[in-house]
Amino acid sequence: MSDALEFNLPLVVPPNGGKVIRAFGAEMIFHITGEQTGDRSMLATILAPPGQGPPLHYHEKEDECFFVLEGRMSFYADGQWRKVEPGTVVFAPKMSVHSLKNVGETMARVLCAASPAGFEIFFARCEKEFQKPGGPDMARIIGISAEHGIHYV
């Protein structure tokens, strides 16, 4: 890891910068990762096809913030599903049960920030499982999730 002072400098990511990772039927473009921020934060764009979204879950470690850029999304927060329009912001603090789902007929784009970083490592590990012939071993996905403090309800 680099000198800690490097993490106190501004970071500029050019257009089309970032790493693309695919898992769970979605694509995430990780613009900023823990490797670049001293594990402080992560920023990604979620590209979600119609009907796509993770099961209800919570994170032990990360607070997440979502900003809907395009598409018709529904978020589970405070014990209920809510349809939201582009421009909506949803904050999901760690330990809160939440989810999101594309309820529209076109691709949705959602900006996602998490603090501290680490979600990008989880997602990359899951991508390897989803690339296996015959699809992922879901018991393994649940195990990877638990190792990263992500639990399904």
For residues 113 and 93, what is the distance between their CA atoms, to the nearest angstrom? Answer: 11
Q: Which domains does the chain have, with CATH numbers?
A: 17-152 (2.60.120.10)
Strand partners, 109: 47, 70
Predicted confidence at residue 17, as pLDDT, reads: 87
pLDDT tens-digit series, residues 106-120: 999 999 999 999 999
State how far the alpha carbon of 27 is from the alpha carbons of 12, 77, 113, in Å: 22, 22, 15
Residues 6+ apart with CB under 8 A from 4: 38
* DSSP-based three-state secondary structure for 129: helix
* DSSP-based three-state secondary structure for 60: coil
* Whether 73 contacts 102, CB under 8 Å: yes
Terminal CA-CA length for the chain: 35
pLDDT tens-digit series, residues 55-107: 999 999 999 999 999 999 999 999 999 999 999 999 999 999 999 999 999 99
